[in-house]
Structure 1
């Protein structure tokens, strides 16, 4: 199975692109951090990313989703973020990286879980805050830089997905995944 990662700065349009790819028949594995934030906020924790165990929870959910998805009968999957993104998030937040994250990065590297080509969705020029995404546009650009550094640190090749219409961006990714899957 070929597993591709879609990543980029918050608010760049990843979710819209993923929904479009899903409509085209691609198997999509959703982002973990947003789910952890949403669940914790529903429980009354307004800023779960400030908790010491936040990164551990994200890593655990990413691991469960990735290992569960291996039972699907598909040849190509696309992941909304990966443990490398969690590395970038921890760096952005100025947090020490938990052992669970180091172990998961070691596992995905050793087992070659993801393709080395990562689709990096570039900013669309603004960032709309949400309950789970409280980041300014300026901070999102810094987060984008840290994401690039993290992926390069672990030996991934970035495939730029420039700003544009959602359908055009999804088509670019679909064509590239098809070509890379041969």
Structure 2
């Protein structure tokens, strides 16, 4: 088992636009026994729809972003209690990227937290992949928005000092092997 010196060394983020295979890859990592988080956006949308809330991207984008950030903070705190590597289906900077994408102000407290609570220096970025992209009840963005989202997430993580490693457009098993190798977790 790999030994990590700090939490940030064992916290691996997968980012990118919607519909690029991040969650499928996170599920494959979870199936291999790694701790992983649930994507904040989908989780918040699901909760808000179940309770009749309005913190939804098509109703109140600012409140939606606040809820996503709170979700990511909670995921980070939960990850601190886990042993070994943890894979994040997006991270705190993703919410800041979302706000930027939507032309909304980034609250200073969110930016401060994103600088304070760090992840591994190398962040995995899932590039837009039209062949697997699709919409559903929770993912309503167009292909064009998915591409712009990827671009904004790359810029946001870069601005926060992370190095991005682009995932190959390949089957999930190949992506899984790639991530484990790049994270230094390959068997």
- Asked if these proteins are the same fold (TM beyond 0.5), I'd say yes
3-state SS in 2 of match to 1:48: coil
Gaps of at least 5 residues in structure 1 are: none
Deviation at 1:128, TM superposition (A): 0.7
1:166 aligns with 172
Q: Does 1:176 align with 2:186?
A: no
In the alignment, the residues of structure 2 paired with residue 131 and residue 93 of structure 1 have an alpha-carbon distance, to the nearest angstrom, of 20
2:119 aligns with 114
Deviation at 1:6, TM superposition (A): 0.7
3-state SS in 2 of match to 1:159: strand
User: Which of these residues, 85, 89, 107, is aligned with residue 80 of structure 1?
Assistant: 89
Q: Does 1:35 align with 2:40?
A: no
Q: Which moved more, 1:36-45 or 1:153-162?
A: 36-45
In the alignment, the residues of structure 2 paired with residue 68 and residue 24 of structure 1 have an alpha-carbon distance, to the nearest angstrom, of 19
Q: Does 1:16 align with 2:17?
A: no
Q: Does 1:58 align with 2:68?
A: yes
- TM value normalised by structure 1: 0.89
Deviation at 1:103, TM superposition (A): 3.0
Tell me how many residue pairs correspond in the alignment: 175
In the alignment, the residues of structure 1 paired with residue 70 and residue 108 of structure 2 have an alpha-carbon distance, to the nearest angstrom, of 12
Q: Contact 2:44/2:68 (CA < 8 Å) preserved in 1?
A: yes
1:3 aligns with 11
Q: Contact 1:11/1:128 (CA < 8 Å) preserved in 2?
A: yes
User: Which of these residues, 122, 128, 135, is aligned with residue 123 of structure 1?
Assistant: 128
Deviation at 1:155, TM superposition (A): 0.9
1:151 aligns with 157
CA deviation vs aligned residue, 1:127-180 (integer Å, no higher than 9, x gap): 211111111112211111111111111111001102111111111001111269
In the alignment, the residues of structure 2 paired with residue 141 and residue 62 of structure 1 have an alpha-carbon distance, to the nearest angstrom, of 23
2:4 aligns with none
CA deviation vs aligned residue, 1:52-106 (integer Å, no higher than 9, x gap): 322111111111121122112x221111101111111111111111244223213
When the two chains are superposed, the root-mean-square deviation of aligned CA atoms in Å is 1.8
